[in-house]
Amino acid sequence: MPHESLNLEIWSRLIQGKSLEGLAIDIIDGRFDLNGLELPEPEILRRFQLHGILINEIAPSAIIHNAKWQNLDFTGSKMNGVRLIGCELNNCIFERCQLRDLRVWATTFTGCSFKKANLREAALGAVDVQSDKRNIYSQVDFSEADLRGTAYKAAAFEGCVFRNAKIEGIDFDSSTFSDCVFEGELRDVLFYRRGFEGEAFPENEMINVDFSRAKLRDVGFRGLSMERVKLPEDADHIMIKNVPATLDKLIAALKQQSDTMAKQLIAFLSIDRKWIVPNQAQAVINVQDLEETLGVAAVHRLRELLQAAKKP
pLDDT at residue 58, rounded to an integer: 43
Phi (first) and psi of residue 233, to 5 degrees: -115, 80
> Taking the chain, what is the end-to-end CA distance rounded to the nearest angstrom?
68
pLDDT at residue 49, rounded to an integer: 56
pLDDT at residue 196, rounded to an integer: 84
Q: Looking at 34-93, which runs of residues are DSSP E strands?
A: 43-50, 53-59, 62-65, 68-70, 72-73, 82-85, 88-90
Q: What are the boundaries of each domain within the chain?
A: 4-37+64-232, 237-312
pLDDT at residue 272, rounded to an integer: 85
pLDDT at residue 60, rounded to an integer: 45
From the first residue on, what is the mean pLDDT of each consecutive set of 10 residues in the chain (312 residues)?
76 86 92 88 50 46 87 94 94 96 95 97 91 95 97 97 97 97 97 89 96 97 96 96 94 92 94 91 96 95 89 67
CA distances from 146 to 33, 126, 141 (A): 23, 18, 12
Which of 246, 188, 186 has the alpha carbon at shortest distance from 212?
A: 186
The structural architecture, per CATH, of the domain 4-37+64-232 is: 3 Solenoid (2.160)
Torsion over CA of 43, 49, 51 and 55, rounded to 10 degrees? 10
pLDDT at residue 310, rounded to an integer: 77
User: What residues have CB less than 8 Å from 213, skipping those under 6 apart?
Assistant: 182, 183, 184, 232
Which of 198, 188, 116 has the alpha carbon at shortest distance from 156?
A: 198
